[in-house]
Amino acid sequence: MAATTVVVQQAPKVVPQITSWSSGLCSCCQDMSSCCYAFWCCPCFACSTTSKFGENTCLPLVDICGQGIMPAFGIPICVPPVTLSMRVAIRHKYQISGDICEDIAISCFCVWCSWCQMNREIEHRQRFAMAVNTQQMAPIITTVQPTAVVISGV
């Protein structure tokens, strides 16, 4: 009987690296055209930023419509939900340090600056896509010897 060889190759382990935002919250001088666009037409800017991130283009309109419609139904909205969720999603996707309390405060009090920072981060990450360095692992080779099976008929 011939021996069967089984080759098992271990996958490299990738450890996520916690990073920080590529630009500060008030770093509008880094990208004046985007900041002017956000200042003069924040809804359009938020929609284009959301689209760059791969989400629905019209999603930020919930922040605008929600502020006027939801209180009419007795549901007060303090935090813009799409701004907050986009900020958390960007932090999660790009492994950016921070916490939900910081995101809530920035989403409530610095909406324009928050959208500008998110736009700069998306453009930075798309421009400088990080390459993951994987090391080749030596395969583990195991040889299995077949055993004889005797079946006796009764």
The answer to whether the Cα torsion of 37, 38, 43, 48 is positive or negative is positive
SS3 sequence of the chain: CCCEEEEECCCCCCCCCCECCCCCCCCHHHCHHHHHHHHHCHHHHHHHHHHHHCCCCCCCHHHHHHHHHHHHHCCCCCCCHHHHHHHHHHHHHCCECCCHHHHHHHHHHCHHHHHHHHHHHHHHHHHCCCCCCCCCCCCEEEEECCCCCCCCCC
pLDDT per residue as tens digits for the range 114-150: 999 999 999 999 887 654 445 555 566 666 666 666 6
Q: CA angle, 149 as apex, 148 and 151 as ends, to 5°?
A: 145
What predicted TM-score, i.e. pTM, was given to this entire model? Answer: 0.70
pLDDT per residue as tens digits for the range 35-73: 899 999 989 999 999 999 999 988 888 887 777 777 777
pLDDT per residue as tens digits for the range 73-95: 777 777 888 999 999 999 999 99
